[in-house]
Structure 1
Amino acid sequence: MASRLGSEPLEDWVKYETEGYPTDVEVPEYRIIGVAYKGTWSGPWNSGIQNAPIPSAVIETFAGEDWTRNKVRRSIASVEEFAKNTDGTLHINASDLILLLQGKVYQDWACNAVTGTISPVAMREIVQSVRSRVLELTIELEKRVPQSVGVTLDNPVSLKPEGEAAVTQIYNQTVYGNVTHVTAMQGAQINLSIVAGDRDSMVGALIKAGLPKDAAGEFTDIIAAEKPESAEKPLGKKALAWLKKNTPKAASGAWKIGSDVLTKVATEAALQYSGLK
């Protein structure tokens, strides 16, 4: 159905869920799960500490957040198999943490072993998330793109560009929630997650997308002061004038965002901030 409806992002999602997510593709939030760690240390006079919990803050400080927020890239079939585990825990390879935590948790004590565990419940939650999203996608497509009901392998449906855009919008809202994924140059993805009416979240999202801090603040203030005409025209005269003035800066390489996607990012940000998307 994804292929027949002309939505490449939806088609990619189906592919990644069935085959697994490549390392250069960001996984959805529902595939990021917590990891708990315990360690074993030895000290002077044959003293030792066995299986002592290691706070997540310590792991993140010395090893990075990726160690406490595991990105599950396996196919949904593999995730289902892990979800059937009845032993209570799943283990991950945490041997690299032995070196990273030496002398960091207990001073002058040697770190001998670190184990990382994941609850099978988290795996079952991933399976349930995928199922619920498939159901929600089907319902929303049937409501907003009625032609999708007639899609079969032998009966492709021809949608107008606005229909294809609607399919992709439904996909973004269902799979990622209030996050818009903008395709930048060379296939890179820019993720926008803005709370309606929240200046700080919009400024932060624009900075993350590649705008300088002062430019992100300036554009946010314009959008906050200039009421959008409609969802089809979220940028007013001042916002359009701002784009016209600053696009050359992006084109020159002075900004960390290309001129080819600056307008798209600005438009998506305006839609989210104004609560129109």
Structure 2
Amino acid sequence: MSILREIQAAILQDNPNLGTILLKLRFLASRLGSEPLEDWVKFEAEGYPKDADVPEYRVAALSFRGSWSGPFGSGINNAPIPTALVEEHASKEWTRYKVRESIATVQDMAASGKTMGINASNLILLLQGKVYEDFACNSIIAEMSQIAIQEIVQTVRARILELTIELEKRVPAAVEVTLQQLISSKTPETAAAVTQIFNQTVYGNVTHVTATDGAQVTLAITAGDTVSMMSELARAGLPDDAAKEITNIVASEGRPPAADKPLGPKALEWIKKNAPKAASGAWKIGSAVATDLLKEAALKYYGLK
């Protein structure tokens, strides 16, 4: 049986062992030559390091509870804290937790039926006097719901299945890979096709731009949304003011007549004018990569990709 068929058979079982399935998928990705797929499988199997972006499906909402002591021995115990209050006095980062643990650990947590506790001791100082006046905050507990944990497991399972189905349809070589096969099935065309399928099925509305040094910049831009475009360009390395300026230009020029020329004359003039800044190292991204980045961003903004 081919590796792809083994993965499909295993993923369709009740309570599949996602750790073992990911090992097989990593082998398949290696034989097909898709490094982005290999990286995703490695992170899911071993956990996401602190310097790696986590997929959106691994970002979960947190709920908060706390205890306070007041005058004359009074107190408030185990009272809920509104997330809006946490975001106002701390930041939104506190309410959206990035789950970096391996999928095997997440699967064990999902099977346990317990909520996941997060260290929120630093919030005590940030929320002191902000929740109940004249009461001292003694402790804060942050938790991720059991449903959120189960959703991560289900999402990974569903995307592995969808990925293998698309590979079966569009990359014939993927079905031929077996443990006994000594010759690799990887070719530039196969690797590109597998990577495209991976980006579409796993990350959905996300674009990867590859720099000349092999580094990748990921864009998650919603069509017609200037806020997401500005945010993603700034995260990719453009200064905030530059990201805002070029986003406004792209939005004002309107949808182009052809997808192969997503940038209008004003945007191209802006790139020409700012190219020296990128080339000089004043920006965190080179001029060549910046051009590709802006083209991809425009395509995503216009809904052409």
Give TM class, smaller chain. 0.7 to 0.9
1:95: which partner in 2?
Answer: 121
1:263: which partner in 2?
Answer: 291
Cα distance in 2 between the residues matched to 1:259 and 1:148: 37
Cα distance in 1 between the residues matched to 2:251 and 2:170: 31
1:186 offset after TM fit, Å?
Answer: 7.6
Q: What secondary structure does 2:112 align onto?
A: coil
Asked if the contact 2:66–2:79 (Cα under 8 Å) also holds between the matched residues in 1, the reply is yes
Q: What secondary structure does 2:117 align onto?
A: strand
Asked if the contact 1:227–1:236 (Cα under 8 Å) also holds between the matched residues in 2, the reply is no
How many residue pairs get matched? Answer: 271
1:169 offset after TM fit, Å?
Answer: 1.9
User: Following superposition of structure 1 onto structure 2, how do residues 35-46 of structure 1 map, counting pairs within 5 Å?
Assistant: 35-46=62-73
Change beyond 3 A, Cα 1:115–1:176: same
2:19: which partner in 1?
Answer: none
Asked if the contact 1:3–1:11 (Cα under 8 Å) also holds between the matched residues in 2, the reply is yes
Q: What secondary structure does 1:215 align onto?
A: helix
User: Following superposition of structure 1 onto structure 2, how do residues 199-218 of structure 1 map, counting pairs within 5 Å?
Assistant: 201-209=228-236, 210=238, 212=242, 213-218=244-249
Cα distance in 1 between the residues matched to 2:32 and 2:261: 26
1:3: which partner in 2?
Answer: 30
Asked if the contact 1:203–1:220 (Cα under 8 Å) also holds between the matched residues in 2, the reply is no
Q: What secondary structure does 1:25 align onto?
A: coil
1:64-84 per-residue CA deviation (whole Å, 9 max, x = no partner) reads 223211111111110111001
2:39: which partner in 1?
Answer: 12
Cα distance in 2 between the residues matched to 1:32 and 1:204: 17
User: Following superposition of structure 1 onto structure 2, how do residues 110-189 of structure 1 map, counting pairs within 5 Å?
Assistant: 110-155=136-181, 156-159=184-187, 161-183=188-210
1:197 offset after TM fit, Å?
Answer: 4.3
Paired residue type of 1:226: P
1:176 offset after TM fit, Å?
Answer: 1.6
Change beyond 3 A, Cα 1:162–1:217: farther
Q: Which stretch of structure 1 is more off in the superposition, 183-192 or 166-175?
A: 183-192
Asked if the contact 1:41–1:48 (Cα under 8 Å) also holds between the matched residues in 2, the reply is yes
Cα distance in 2 between the residues matched to 1:258 and 1:39: 47
1:248 offset after TM fit, Å?
Answer: 2.9
1:219 offset after TM fit, Å?
Answer: 4.1
Give percent identity, aligned residues only.
58
Asked if the contact 1:196–1:275 (Cα under 8 Å) also holds between the matched residues in 2, the reply is yes
1:207 offset after TM fit, Å?
Answer: 4.3
Asked if the contact 1:103–1:111 (Cα under 8 Å) also holds between the matched residues in 2, the reply is yes
1:130 offset after TM fit, Å?
Answer: 0.4
Paired residue type of 2:290: L
1:241 offset after TM fit, Å?
Answer: 6.1
Cα distance in 1 between the residues matched to 2:292 and 2:35: 18
Change beyond 3 A, Cα 1:37–1:235: closer
Paired residue type of 2:299: L
Q: Which runs of 5+ in 2 are unaligned?
A: 1-27
Cα distance in 1 between the residues matched to 2:213 and 2:69: 50
1:204 offset after TM fit, Å?
Answer: 4.7
Paired residue type of 1:152: T
Change beyond 3 A, Cα 1:43–1:188: farther
Q: Which runs of 5+ in 1 are unaligned?
A: none
Asked if the contact 1:40–1:50 (Cα under 8 Å) also holds between the matched residues in 2, the reply is yes
Q: What secondary structure does 1:26 align onto?
A: coil
Change beyond 3 A, Cα 1:7–1:220: farther
Cα distance in 2 between the residues matched to 1:11 and 1:31: 18
Asked if the contact 1:234–1:270 (Cα under 8 Å) also holds between the matched residues in 2, the reply is no
Q: What do you get for the CA RMSD once the two structures are aligned?
A: 2.6
Cα distance in 2 between the residues matched to 1:108 and 1:192: 46
1:231-259 per-residue CA deviation (whole Å, 9 max, x = no partner) reads xx344684666545543332123444321
Q: Which stretch of structure 1 is more off in the superposition, 106-115 or 205-214?
A: 205-214
Q: Which stretch of structure 1 is more off in the superposition, 30-39 or 242-251?
A: 242-251
Q: Which stretch of structure 1 is more off in the superposition, 204-213 or 24-33?
A: 204-213
Q: Which stretch of structure 1 is more off in the superposition, 18-27 or 211-220?
A: 211-220
Cα distance in 1 between the residues matched to 2:263 and 2:76: 64
Q: What secondary structure does 2:29 align onto?
A: coil
Paired residue type of 1:32: V
Asked if the contact 1:84–1:120 (Cα under 8 Å) also holds between the matched residues in 2, the reply is no
Which residue among 81, 97, 103 is the counterpart of 1:54?
A: 81
